[in-house]
Amino acid sequence: METHKSKWAYFFLAVSAAVFLYFLASVNIGASLEFDRYFSKFFTGLFSENTHPFFEAMDTLGDKAGVGIITLAFLLLLLFKYRNYEAMASVVFAVAAGNEVNKWLKEAIGRPRPDQEHLVDVASRSFPSGHAMIGMILYAVMAYFIIDELKSKSAKWITAILAGIWIFLMGISRIVMGVHYPSDIAAGFAAGYIWVFITISLYAALKSMFRRNSHQRDSA
């Protein structure tokens, strides 16, 4: 599957880069964003305290332990069911390197957390959101490889839609918990998509290289 070469993939890449750079510039100049005020009020008003346990669970799935367990489970699936070693290497690269990039961006930009009650403990800086960025990376890459194995077009669409909803909920959980500005989430999604695009492009190159080497050995 060469989704990464489609016009839509490049369109979303361009949009993601523009979104990330816009919010980065706004944060760097210390601009007060109407985007943050509106969506903070919208999401915190939309979800009552009764929903907080759900978003706390989403928050847990997006922390180091949650990401580690889900990544390991998916690697085992790729190993024992699909025997896709290139995909395994790509998932490890996507999550591990993506996490390091996120930490570097947080420290380099240095945006403080929102000045309000935090419903979960946080220690790092705010921009871009790690839950949004790593959530986008992990679940979008997982969806890509799962969709690649599916035959039914409807199953492919259902998988993509469910992954999109899951990623979105993981991102907004951080707004509901009071630990991120909406612009942190938007920038995290944007940076995550860019990293997904890079990962899938590297996977395609890796797959092509191994196929070429295998063909050369068979022809020798």
Dump pLDDT digits (tens) for 63-81.
889 999 999 999 999 999 9
The position carrying tokens 């992954």 is 163
Task: Give the per-residue pLDDT at 121.
Answer: 75
Tell whether the model's pLDDT for residue 2 goes beyond 60: no
Task: Give the per-residue pLDDT at 216.
Answer: 54
The position carrying tokens 């990401």 is 67
What's the whole-number mean pLDDT along residues 74-89? Answer: 93
Which band of pLDDT confidence, cut at 50, 70 and 90, is reported for residue 22? Answer: very high
CA atoms within 13 A on the CB side of 118: 14
pTM above threshold 0.95: no
Which band of pLDDT confidence, cut at 50, 70 and 90, is reported for residue 191? Answer: very high
Which band of pLDDT confidence, cut at 50, 70 and 90, is reported for residue 219? Answer: low
What's the whole-number mean pLDDT along residues 190-217? Answer: 83
Tell whether the model's pLDDT for residue 49 goes beyond 70: yes
In our burial notation (b when 16+ CB lie closer than 10 A, e otherwise), range 67-87 reads beebbeebbebbeeeeebebb
Q: Measured in whole angstroms, how far is the alpha carbon of residue 89 from the centre of its chain?
A: 17
- When the pLDDT of each residue in the chain is averaged and rounded to a whole number, the result is 90
Tell whether the model's pLDDT for residue 215 goes beyond 80: no
